[in-house]
């Protein structure tokens, strides 16, 4: 194989590795965002449970105030019963006292229900707190791994870029310019092999003479369709189809 082709293949390998490194670096921020979202979800779950508990407690306290108010009315009506001498008024106060007592019983039933709900929510709060602590620990661990991964990728990228610069500078300027132009338009698939008379880049059938020229390994040969640089190796099937 021509030395220039070997150099191009090595350069292309470095460019592909650089592309991989850049793509992996680009994926780090979405991964960090996903970690932040996991943490925020755990925090929100805990806060929602705490908010439900506060609402239950507020409702229970309001019911306690309501009961206290009705009990005061009962005491006042009881005092009025002691003072009245009219049977009708006494009976009316008795009915009102009984009504208030029934209302208090209903409120107390509601209070018991709220207390049971609050007890269940407290368990949910404890569970959410445990889940949050676990999530925080996992997120810290994964963030540290991402940070180390980023550091390693940047170091690898710097090393590859240095190699890439050295390899590119060693090429013939005209060949390097052609390669760089193809790299911009074709991505990391600039130097390709051929098999069964077909370009490994655009997969179009090549003229027989192009295949023969490539196999002769005398000069740089390009695809007549896509302009990619072609190469030959013994592992490839170089059958020329007329």
pLDDT 10s digits, 119-156: 999 999 999 999 999 999 999 999 999 999 999 999 99
Distance separating alpha carbons of residues 221 and 194, to the nearest angstrom: 11
Q: Could you read off the pLDDT of 172-200 as tens digits, one per residue?
A: 999 999 999 999 998 889 999 998 889 99
pLDDT of residue 235: 61
Strands 229-231 and 191-195, sheet pairing: parallel
The yes-or-no verdict on residue 44 having pLDDT over 80 is yes
| Cα three-residue angle 120-125-127, rounded to 5 degrees | 95
According to DSSP H, which parts of 84-191 are helical? Answer: 87-170, 173-186
For the chain, what is the mean pLDDT?
Answer: 93
Token pair in block for residue 182: 């193809």
**Alpha-carbon distances, residue 163 vs 12, 49, 71, 174 (angstroms):** 11, 56, 88, 20
Distance separating alpha carbons of residues 90 and 101, to the nearest angstrom: 16
Distance separating alpha carbons of residues 126 and 175, to the nearest angstrom: 68
Single pTM value for the model: 0.74
The yes-or-no verdict on residue 224 having pLDDT over 50 is yes
């Amino acid at each position: 194989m021509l030395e220039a082709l070997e150099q191009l293949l090595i350069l292309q390998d470095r460019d592909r590795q650089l592309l991989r490194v850049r793509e992996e670096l680009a994926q780090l921020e979405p991964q960090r965002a996903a970690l932040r979202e996991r943490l925020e979800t755990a925090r929100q779950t805990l806060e929602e449970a705490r908010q439900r508990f506060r609402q239950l407690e507020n409702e229970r306290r309001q019911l306690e105030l309501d009961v206290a108010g009705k009990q005061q009315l009962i005491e006042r009506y009881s005092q009025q019963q002691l003072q009245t001498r009219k049977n009708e008024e006494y009976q009316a106060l008795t009915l009102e006292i009984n009504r208030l007592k029934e209302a208090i019983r209903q409120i107390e039933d509601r209070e018991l229900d709220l207390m049971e709900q609050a007890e269940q929510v407290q368990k949910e709060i404890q569970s959410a707190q445990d889940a949050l602590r676990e999530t925080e620990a996992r997120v810290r661990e994964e963030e540290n791994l991402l940070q180390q991964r980023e550091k390693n990728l940047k170091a690898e990228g710097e090393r590859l870029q240095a190699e890439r610069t050295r390899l590119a500078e060693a090429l013939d300027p005209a060949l390097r310019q052609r390669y760089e132009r193809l790299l911009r338009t074709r991505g990391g698939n600039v130097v390709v092999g051929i098999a069964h008379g077909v370009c490994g880049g655009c997969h179009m059938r090549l003229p027989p003479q192009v295949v023969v020229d490539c196999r002769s390994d005398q000069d740089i040969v390009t695809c007549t369709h896509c302009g990619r640089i072609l190469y030959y190796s013994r592992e490839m099937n170089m059958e020329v189809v007329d």
